[in-house]
Amino acid sequence: MKPIARILPLFAALAISSNSIEAAAPKKKAQKKRPARAQSVGPAINENKATPVNRIRVPEGFKVELIYSVPGTDQGSWVNLGLDNKNRIIVSDQFGGLYRFSPPPAGKALSPGDIEEVPADIRAVNGMLWAFGALYVGVNDYERKIDSGLYRITDSDGDDKLDKVEKLRAMQASGDHGVHALLLSPDKKSIYMITGNNTETTEAQTSRVPRVWGEDHLLPRMPDGRGHNRGRLAPAGIIYKISPDGKDWEIVSSGYRNIFDGAFNKDGELFAYDADMEYDFNTPWYRPTRVCHVTSGSMFGWRNGTGKRPEFYPDNLPPAVNIGPGSPTGVTFGYGAKFPAKYQDALYILDWSWGKIYAVHMKPDGSTYTGVKEDFISGSPLPVTDAVIHPKDGAMYFAIGGRRVQSGVYRVTYVGKESTAPAKHQPHRSKLFTLRKQLETFHGKTDPKAIKKAWPHLSHPDRFIRWAARIAIMHQPVKQWANKALKEKDYGKRVEALLGLAQVTGIDPFHRKPTDPPIDAAMGKKIIKALSEVDWSKLNDDQRITLVRAHQIALVRFDHPGRQLAEAIRDQLDPHFPANTFELNWVLCETLAYLQTPSVAYKTMKLIEAAPTQEEQMEFARSLRMVKIGWTKQLHTQYFEWFLKAANYRGGASFDKFIEFIRNDAVASLSREDKESLKEILAKQPVKKSPLEMLAEAMAGRSYVKEWKLDELAAAADTGLKNRDYAKGRKMFAAGGCFACHRFANEGGATGPDLTGSGGRYSARDFLDQVVNPSKVINEQFVPIEIVKLNGEKISGVVVNLNGDGVTVNTDMFDPNQRVTVDRKTVKSIEPSKISPMPQGLLNMMHKDEILDLVAYVLSGGNAKHAMFRK
């Protein structure tokens, strides 16, 4: 199955689910006899039917048909779609076998008799590809009745029946994050396999990703507080390239959490939709679901718990598009669809938990791509699992199912007036794109031309080109480039090269083996000395982060360098802390805390006091937990008072445990004398406060201004969005409680709409209308529901899980653990609420200039350099 790792909340509340498909203990059943599947949530609650089309929303001009409601008892719950050599659709039951059918004529549906059971003795297929005269499948068997891995299925006797099964490679995988999709390479000569982070690395003859795996945590990692994947280390989440006979394997990319599927665009570039870790909501290390451009030798930084790499770290790559909370499933481009041109070129990504198919409109950006998501199809419930574009009728077919819920197959066609003629493709062949592709030819092999070709591009402003250049060099013999890196006069090139040198010559302690050679301490000291001689003023902010991160990796992989070099690092970095960005402060604080810099406690407590978001506060508190010097009683008291305040912060299922872990480490770092001196504050228990009380604290010292009207504010915004104050706008965003629910510029909650792209969606008036009149138009993704049971009982909240006949509802928007599970057979009706969970009057304690600063902050996307802000 896809990464149905959880069901996420459906409206702007801190309703965070920890459910995962692997957590649902499957019942042991014979392959052909399956338990009754769950019924759809809807008006006809007790009918064994898939979600009716009147509960599904599509763009104007599109039509959706339910062509088949799967009889769950007989045919299971379908999770994967593929096409065979005759363009018949093959489907897989998550806990059973394969089925095949031909699409019915327009306006017609299928009956059970139209569904052909594939005789092949195979089960739990999570990926399908017809290629090289066979059906290749990726098996991820939760029940472990057969090996997970790569199989090939053929017709043994020419009767058009797939009956012969060959196991090409068994793989070790656990739970949902296992063996997933199979894709045909753009040159049609090989197969790509996508695996989640609970798939053990399999033998590969070559790797485009340098095999210098490391956790690279400068400060001790805090594993997930609820035990999820606590011991899972890199490498994880790997994409392989495989020969048709299944014998030759190459690692192409790694560092994903749980990608299920991917798709190649017409430029031959691969994109994958990666899962988030919803337990981490509202922590600084939370990363939303995201579309990644899978370039050669890329690494996307998944690590367990607090160890995952933020997207600004130079030793991983950023996503092309951040999507938000969800459970990624199928991925396909719209090529061949009889849709309007922009929908033919769109990347379609499926989200099981939110019941959505997004159309992501990609465009070239430097050597890579960026994109904008559009809600294409949505419904409730609509646990979408996979989609294909049929080459014959040009329709999209998608399935719902998984976790033994009611399954169905739908067809999407365009019936509007726009042209559906084949779109003309504009190749991404810019000079930067071409340069990156040239550099990538050196990945995974030694080549005497690589260093000369790649070296000039180590300081390139395009991040993907810098990455391609460094990876090319890291694949070459170290003796050929180590001294060049250590003596490089261009500091931008030096920091990038030394980051790579630290990775290939050092050994991360989590990956050291008894058979490894002794650590080359001399090399470690040379690297740190060369880094310490870099002139900070000659670097831009990205290069400064790379400098600090290179220091970190050297400190991890070569152990402590000794007092003299440690002081050199402190002398280099301490004068620049605090810096002007959160990202720089993040890495500087970590490093200076590790080095026990005397000033770091005082400086960091100032940052915590000024930080407008709980993520920033939490990150700085996390770094301070190991610091043993530079404290005064006043500073220590202030630090432990922060934990009392943080006890009322809200986040994912592991949030409270992470706060507890930080505090435990902080207490353990105290001397006996400090513990005695601070015993009063250490013994103090937090006072639980309501969200309104927390909001009142944020607005402390402020008084009611007036009840603002839309027309008045909109008129002010027409002429007043110039010379605005960025810092005040961000402060108002925090003071108004916006960060609690809304994701914005990689901070804030994940349970309301992501506001980062608001400037591209709203005029100033439209945005203000959303705030002043929150219930006027409720984002359908965040609508709470009301359940009326047959006995008259009413339950309001958000559906956070579907499993069998159970509907789990979060009943308190501010407490993700307040849940009720309802048996759907006892439900009379489920209707959406007409009242937005977003409260009215949020602006009434702000002055006009503060509101305009807030509007500018949001519409600028949090860009302090935007023209709306004073220069």
249-254 and 298-299: which strand pairing? parallel
Q: Which residues pair with 241 in a beta bridge?
A: 192, 250
- Under DSSP, the state recorded for 264 is E
CA nearest to 201, candidates 172, 176, 228: 172
Task: Say if residue 333's pLDDT is above 80.
Answer: yes
At 718-740, the pLDDT tens digits run 888 888 988 888 888 877 767 66
Lowest mean pLDDT among 31-35, 344-348, 575-579: 31-35
Q: What is the pLDDT of residue 694?
A: 66
pLDDT grade for 103, boundaries at 50, 70 and 90 = very high
**H-helix segments, 174-278:** none
Q: Give 786's pLDDT tier (boundaries 50, 70, 90).
A: confident
pTM reported for the whole predicted model = 0.87
Q: Side by side, which strands form the sheet with 78-83?
A: 78-83, 89-93, 98-101, 116-117
Q: Is the pLDDT of residue 31 over 50?
A: no
Q: Which of 491, 506, 558, 627 is nearest to 219 (CA)?
A: 627
- CA–CA dist 852, 732 (Å, integer): 10
Amino acid in the structure at residue 778 = I
Q: Rounded to whole angstroms, how far apart are CA atoms 92 and 390?
A: 17
The full length of the chain comes to 871
- For the chain, what is the largest distance between any 2 Cα atoms, rounded to a whole number of angstroms? 84
Please compute the mean of the pLDDT values over residues 855-863 and round it to a whole number: 86
Residue 36 has pLDDT above 50, yes or no: no
* pLDDT for residue 366 is more than 60: yes
Say what percent of the chain tops pLDDT 90.
Answer: 66
Phi, psi of 362 (to 5 degrees): -90, 150
For residue 316, the model assigns a pLDDT of 97
- Determine the pLDDT at residue 33: 38
Which of 600, 568, 566, 567 is closest to 585 using CA atoms?
600
Quick check: 775 pLDDT over 60? yes
The CA distance from 145 to 31, in Å, is 10
One-letter amino acid for residue 66 of the chain: L
Task: Give CA–CA dist 517/510, Å, rounded.
Answer: 15
Tell me which residue of 271, 283, 272 sits closest to 308, measured CA to CA.
283
Q: Hey, which bits of 390-538 come out as E strands?
A: 396-400, 408-414
Helix, strand or coil, per DSSP, at residue 655: helix
Averaged pLDDT score across all residues of the chain: 88
**Within 13 Å and on the Cβ side, how many CA atoms surround 440?**
19
> Quick one: pLDDT at residue 800?
63
Residues 141-151 have a mean pLDDT of 95
- Across the range 600-614, mean pLDDT stands at 95
Lowest mean pLDDT among 95-109, 333-347, 425-439, 756-770: 756-770
| Residue 25 pLDDT level (bands cut at 50, 70, 90) | very low
When pLDDT is cut at 50, 70 and 90, the band that residue 559 belongs to is confident
State the DSSP H helix or E strand holding residue 344, giving kind and residue range, or none if neither: helix 341-344
pLDDT at 296 over 50: yes
pLDDT of res. 769: 82
Q: Which residues touch 428 (CB under 8 Å, ≥6 apart)?
A: 267, 269, 364, 369
pLDDT digits (tens, 9 = 90+) for 444-482: 999 999 999 999 999 999 999 999 999 999 999 999 999
In terms of average pLDDT, the best of 99-103, 716-720, 724-728, 754-758 is: 99-103
> Phi-psi region for residue 527, left (φ > 0), alpha (ψ -120 to 50) or beta?
alpha
Strand ranges (E), 391-518: 396-400, 408-414
> Which has the minimum average pLDDT: 61-70, 365-374, 504-513, 575-584?
504-513
Look-up of token digits 């045919």: 75
- Summarize the confidence of residues 850-869 as an average pLDDT: 86
Cα distance between residue 277 and residue 639, in whole Å? 28
Lowest mean pLDDT among 225-229, 295-299, 752-756: 752-756
Q: Which amino acid does the sequence have at 154?
A: T
Helix (H) or strand (E) holding 290: strand 289-294
Q: Is the pLDDT of residue 826 over 80?
A: yes
CB half-sphere exposure, 311, CA atoms < 13 A: 19
Residue range 426-431: mean pLDDT, rounded: 90
pLDDT (average), residues 746-775: 73
Q: How far apart are CA 295 and CA 319, in angstroms?
A: 11
pLDDT value at 42 more than 70: no
- What is the distance between the terminal CA atoms of the chain, rounded to a whole angstrom? 52
**Other Cβ atoms closer than 10 A to 500:** 25
Q: What is the pLDDT of residue 740?
A: 63
Angle at 495 between CA 491 and CA 497, to 5 degrees: 110
Return phi, psi of residue 277, to 5°. Answer: -120, 100
Name the most confidently modeled range: 36-45, 398-407, 598-607. 598-607
Q: How confident is the model at residue 701 (pLDDT cuts 50, 70, 90)?
A: low
Q: Phi and psi at residue 400, in whole multiples of 5°?
A: -120, 155
C-alpha count within 13 angstroms, C-beta hemisphere, residue 346: 23
User: CA-CA distance, 780 to 757, in Å (whole number)?
Assistant: 17
State mean pLDDT over 297-318: 96
Indicate if the pLDDT at residue 664 is higher than 50.
yes
Q: Which residues of 138-151 are buried (b: 16+ CB within 10 A; e: fewer)?
A: bbbbbeeebbbbbb
CA dist., res. 693 & res. 691, Å (int): 5
- How far apart, in Å, are the Cα atoms of 450 and each of 34, 364, 456, 670? 56, 26, 11, 51
User: What is each CA distance from 780 to 56, 217, 808, 832, in whole angstroms?
Assistant: 11, 40, 19, 9
Give the least confident one: 7-21, 68-82, 105-119, 656-670.
7-21
Residue 739: CB atoms within 10 A of its CB come to 23
How large is the angle between the packed helices 764-772 and 710-720, nearest 10 degrees? 150
Confidence of residue 539 (pLDDT cuts 50, 70, 90): very high
**Can you tell me the distance from the alpha carbon of 166 to that of 156, in angstroms, rounded to the nearest whole number?**
11
The larger pLDDT score, comparing residue 822 to residue 4, is at 822
Q: Is 484 exposed, middle or buried (0-12, 13-18, 19+ CB in 10 A)?
A: middle
563's torsion region: left (phi>0), alpha (psi -120 to 50) or beta?
A: alpha
Residue 811: the pLDDT is 72
For the segment 46-63, the average pLDDT, to the nearest whole number, is: 86
Selected residue with higher pLDDT from 484 and 786: 484
Bridge-based pairing of strands 321-324 and 289-294 is antiparallel
pLDDT of residue 6: 35
Residue that wins the pLDDT comparison between 576 and 427: 576
